[in-house]
Amino acid sequence: MSASFSLALGAAREAAASQHYPQAALYIVATPIGNLADISLRALHVLQICDAVACEDTRHTQSMLRAYGIDRPGAQLLAVHEHNEAEAAQQVIERLQQGGRIAYASDAGTPAVSDPGARLVAAVRAAGFRVVPLPGASSVTSVLSVAGALGDAGAFVFAGFLPAKAGERDAAVARLGQEPRAVVILEAPHRIEALAKSFAVLGARLVTVGRELTKQFEQVATVSCDAFAAWLDADSSRTRGEFALVLHPAPQAKADGEGLRVLALLMNELPLKTAVKLAAEISGESKNVLYDKALAMKGAGSSQAPQ
Q: What is the CATH number of the domain that holds 98?
A: 3.40.1010.10
Both 39 and 119 in a single domain?
yes
Confidence of residue 303 (pLDDT cuts 50, 70, 90): very low
Specify the DSSP class assigned to residue 173: H
User: Same structural domain for residues 13 and 45?
Assistant: yes
Judgement on whether residues 81 and 180 belong to the same structural domain of the protein: no
pLDDT of residue 57: 95
Mean of pLDDT values over 218-222: 98
User: Of 228, 247, 266, which residue sits at a domain end?
Assistant: 247
- Do 76 and 49 belong together in one domain? yes
Range of the domain at 58: 3-137
Taking a C-beta distance cutoff of 8 angstroms, is the pair 188, 242 a contact? Answer: yes
Structure confidence by residue, pLDDT tens digits, 264-288: 889 998 999 999 989 888 887 778 7
Burial 11-31 (b: 16+ CB within 10 A, else e): ebeeebeeeeeeeebbbbbbb
pTM (predicted TM-score):
0.80
Looking at the fold, whether 108 and 39 belong to one and the same domain comes out as yes
Within 8 A by CB and 6+ apart from 7, the residues are: none
Residues 44 and 76 in one domain: yes
Residue 177 falls within a domain, yes or no? yes
Q: Tell me: pLDDT of 163 over 60.
A: yes
Q: 218 with 113, same domain?
A: no
Residue 306 forms part of a structural domain: no
Query: Same structural domain for residues 117 and 76?
Result: yes
Q: Is the pLDDT of residue 12 over 80?
A: yes
* Statement: residue 88 has pLDDT above 70: yes
- CATH number of 182's domain: 3.30.950.10
Q: Are residues 240 and 264 in the same domain?
A: no
Report yes or no on 107 lying in a domain. yes
| 182 in the same domain as 131 | no
pLDDT tens track for 25-78: 999 999 999 999 999 999 999 999 999 999 999 999 999 999 999 999 999 999
**CB 236, CB 168: distance < 8 Å:** no
Residue 242 located in a structural domain: yes
Q: Which of 82, 25, 17, 37 is nearest to 55 (CA)?
A: 82
pLDDT greater than 60 at residue 1: no
Looking at 107, 137, 167, the residue that finishes a domain is: 137
Amino acid 298: pLDDT: 79
Q: What are the distances in angstroms from CA 161 to CA 71, 164, 168, 244, 275?
A: 34, 8, 12, 10, 39
Rounded to whole angstroms, how far apart are CA atoms 281 and 110? 46
Domain boundary among 88, 121, 137: 137
Shared domain check, 195 and 144: yes
Within-domain flag for 268: yes
Residue 30 lies in a domain: yes
Residue 300 clears pLDDT 80, i.e. is over it: no
| Per-residue confidence (pLDDT) for residue 252, from 0 to 100 | 66
Q: In terms of pLDDT, which residue wins out, 249 or 299?
A: 249
142-151 residue pLDDT tens:
999 999 998 7
Total tally of structural domains belonging to the chain: 3
> Do residues 15 and 118 both lie within one domain?
yes
Q: Is residue 252 included in any domain, yes or no?
A: no
Inside any domain, residue 304 = no
Structural contact between residues 260 and 306, judged by C-beta atoms closer than 8 angstroms: yes
- What pLDDT score does 307 carry? 38
